[in-house]
Amino acid sequence: MDQLLILGRLTNKAMNERLILVTNDDGYDSKGIAAAIEVARSFGRVVVVAPEETQSGKSQAITMYEPLFLRKVREEEHVEVYAFSGTPVDCVKMAFDHLLNDQQVDLVISGINHGSNSAVNVLYSGTMGAAIEGSFYGCPAIGLSLTDHAADADFEASILWGKRIVGDILTHDVELPLCLNVNIPIGKIEEIKGMRLCRQNRGYWREEFFRHEDPRGREYYWLTGEFVNTEPEAEDTDEWALAHGYIAVVPVQVDLTDYRQLQKLDTILK
């Protein structure tokens, strides 16, 4: 859908009234969050609460045994930016439960992440941890990720498609809770083939620890790994979409109940 058409649906009054919370797991000063702010400010007033430092891989982690520090980084027209010493989920809780003083938030945007959060990565991701947390507060939430880990990644296509997706969500009556895991492949705008609604790919990470020694002879390890796709031929997954030049959109939920096992276990566990 044309971007001007999407923005045309939003009246000036509606845009002035909207409040959008932006967060991430790469830190308040990352290039990706600057791109997320550009997406968000097209639709309303923006408040950013993001980690002081990189918090990748924090998932739903919260800080319980350390003090937390909040500071305002800057304020400009319709945008306030705060840095918070906690995790991405801490940032969302701080925004909703303290900073915003019960103001109605219309949308949470988490990202734009430097790196994919497709497949099982959704369980490890601080970006998606924050998006999921945001959906608990009665508003739609969108996690945006670009499949490029580089600090200087090109977010032009991500910004364009981010605005399209946000515009569609804000201009329709969506059923809550709603949390979208949106992953964008590397490429110029003209190289993106389109958008696909997908399911989460089945797979897992096989980790490897590289052993080293410090100058004092103490051993330490660096973690690395490789993603194993257990269904590479399936064409309805986020991994397939990304590999073929499409943006992958997966609606996610918090209920981890394995319903397939309920009936079977009822005959086993008595």
Report the pLDDT value the prediction gives residue 74, as an integer from 0 to 100: 97
Report the pLDDT value the prediction gives residue 117, as an integer from 0 to 100: 97
Distances (CA, A) of 203 to 10, 53, 121, 166: 40, 29, 10, 29
User: Which residues neighbour 10 within 8 Å (Cβ) at sequence distance 6 or greater?
Assistant: 43, 167, 170, 171
What value does the mean pLDDT take over residues 51-59?
96
pLDDT band at 10 (very low <50, low <70, confident <90, very high): low
What percent of the chain stands above pLDDT 70?
A: 94
Is the pLDDT assigned to residue 2 strictly greater than 70?
no
* pLDDT 10s digits, 64-92: 999 999 999 999 999 999 999 999 999 99
Is the pLDDT assigned to residue 178 strictly greater than 70?
yes
Mean pLDDT rounded to a whole number for the chain: 93
Is the pLDDT assigned to residue 247 strictly greater than 80?
yes
* pLDDT 10s digits, 142-171: 999 999 999 899 999 999 999 999 999 999
Is the pLDDT assigned to residue 1 strictly greater than 50?
no
The pTM (predicted TM-score) of the whole model is 0.92
Is the pLDDT assigned to residue 104 strictly greater than 60?
yes
Name the burial class of residue 98, with classes exposed (0-12), middle (13-18) and buried (19+) by CB atoms within 10 angstroms of its CB. Answer: exposed
* pLDDT 10s digits, 181-218: 999 999 999 999 999 999 999 999 998 899 999 999 99
Q: Are 154 and 184 in contact (CB under 8 A)?
A: no
Angle at 84 between CA 35 and CA 101, to 5 degrees: 95
Write the DSSP symbol of residue 85. S
Which of 14-23, 114-123, 246-255 is least confident? 14-23
Report the pLDDT value the prediction gives residue 17, as an integer from 0 to 100: 87
Residue carrying structure tokens 């330490």: 220
